Amino acid sequence: MNLRVLQQPVTVLKGIGSKTGKLFEKCGITTIEELLRYYPKGYDIFDPPISLAEVQDGMHCALCCTLVGEPSIGFYSGKTVMRLKGTDGSGQITLSYFNAPYLKKVLQAGEQKVFRGVVKKGGNTLSMDQPKFYTTEEYLLLQNSMQPNYSLVKGLSNHTIQKAMKEAFLEFPSDQDLLPEEIRKEEGFVSLFLALHDIHFPKDRDSYLQARKRLAFDEFYFFLARLKERKEAESTSKNHWKMIETADTSRLVEALPYELTQGQQKVFQDIRQDLCSDHTMNRLIQGDVGSGKTILAFLALLMCASNGFQGAIMAPTAVLAAQHFAQFTELTRRYHLPIHPVLLTGSSSAREKKEIYHAIAAGEYNVIVGTHALFQEKVIYKNLALVVTDEQHRFGVRQRDFLAGKGRDVHVLSMSATPIPRSLALILYADLQVSTLKERPDNRKPIKNAIVDASYRQKAYQLIIKKVREGRQAYIICPMVEEGELEGVQNVTAYTQMLSRLLPNDIRMEKLHGRMRSEEKDRIMENFAAHHIDVLISTTVIEVGINVPNASVMMIEDAQRFGLAQLHQLRGRVGRGEAQSFCIFVDPSGG
pLDDT digits (tens, 9 = 90+) for 544-571: 666 788 999 999 999 998 888 788 888 9
For residue 268, which of 251, 287, 255, 249 has the smallest C-alpha distance?
249
pTM exceeding 0.75 = no
Average of per-residue pLDDT across 295-312: 96
Q: Is the dihedral of CA 56, 59, 61, 64 positive or negative?
A: positive
Domain parsing of the chain, residue ranges: 4-43+145-215, 52-141, 247-437, 448-586
Helix (H) / strand (E) element for 74: namely strand 60-76
pLDDT digits (tens, 9 = 90+) for 174-206: 888 888 889 899 999 999 999 999 999 998 889
- Report whether pLDDT(288) > 90: no
Q: What is the share, in percent, of the chain residues with pLDDT greater than 90?
A: 55
Backbone φ and ψ for 122, nearest 5 degrees, come out as -130, 105
Residue 421 CB burial class (10 angstroms; 0-12, 13-18, ≥19) = exposed
pLDDT tier at 402 (50, 70, 90 boundaries)?
A: low
- Beta 42-45 vs 146-149: how paired, if at all? antiparallel
Q: What is the share, in percent, of the chain residues with pLDDT greater than 70?
A: 90
Residue 454 CB burial class (10 angstroms; 0-12, 13-18, ≥19) = middle
pLDDT: which is higher, 334 or 347: 334
pLDDT tier at 396 (50, 70, 90 boundaries)?
A: very low
- Report whether pLDDT(487) > 80: no
- Report whether pLDDT(526) > 80: yes
- Report whether pLDDT(17) > 70: yes
- pLDDT, position 404: 58
Task: Choose the most confident range, by mean pLDDT, from 409-413, 496-500, 586-590.
Answer: 496-500
For residue 378, which of 394, 404, 401, 355 has the smallest C-alpha distance?
355
524 Cβ neighbours under 8 A, 6+ residues apart: 510, 512, 516, 533, 536
Question: What is the 8-class DSSP label of residue 259?
Answer: P
Strand order across the beta sheet in which 551-556 lies:
448-452, 582-586, 551-556, 473-477, 535-538, 509-512
pLDDT digits (tens, 9 = 90+) for 217-256: 999 888 888 877 766 665 556 788 999 998 999 999 999 9
List, in sequence order, every residue forming a beta bridge with 127; answer none if it has no partner.
Answer: 94, 120
- pLDDT, position 590: 64
Amino acid at 574: V
- pLDDT, position 1: 42
Dist. CA 133–CA 65, nearest whole Å: 10
pLDDT tier at 591 (50, 70, 90 boundaries)?
A: low
Residue 238 CB burial class (10 angstroms; 0-12, 13-18, ≥19) = exposed
Return the SS3 of 220. helix
Amino acid at 242: K
- pLDDT, position 101: 83
* CA max distance for the chain: 91
Dist. CA 394–CA 545, nearest whole Å: 12
- Give the angle 72-488-64 at the CA atoms, nearest 5°: 40
139 Cβ neighbours under 8 A, 6+ residues apart: 46, 49, 62, 64, 114, 116
Q: Is the separation of the CB atoms in 171 and 13 below 8 Å?
A: yes
Dist. CA 526–CA 296, nearest whole Å: 25
Average of per-residue pLDDT across 497-510: 93
Q: Return the CATH architecture of domain 247-437.
A: 3-Layer(aba) Sandwich (3.40)
Lowest mean pLDDT among 238-242, 301-305, 330-334: 238-242
pLDDT digits (tens, 9 = 90+) for 26-78: 999 999 999 999 999 989 889 999 999 999 988 999 999 999 998 898 887 77
pLDDT digits (tens, 9 = 90+) for 417-447: 766 665 566 566 666 788 888 876 555 688 9
Q: Which CATH number fits domain 52-141: 2.40.50.140, 3.40.47.10, 3.40.50.1370, 3.40.50.150?
A: 2.40.50.140
pLDDT tier at 144 (50, 70, 90 boundaries)?
A: confident
Question: What is the 8-class DSSP label of residue 424?
Answer: H
Residue 353 neighbours by CB distance under 10 Å: 17
- pLDDT, position 483: 62
pLDDT digits (tens, 9 = 90+) for 258-285: 889 899 999 999 999 999 998 888 888 9
Residue 111 neighbours by CB distance under 10 Å: 14
CATH 1.10.3720.10 applies to domain 448-586: no
Dist. CA 351–CA 357, nearest whole Å: 10
Q: 448-586: same fold as 247-437?
A: yes
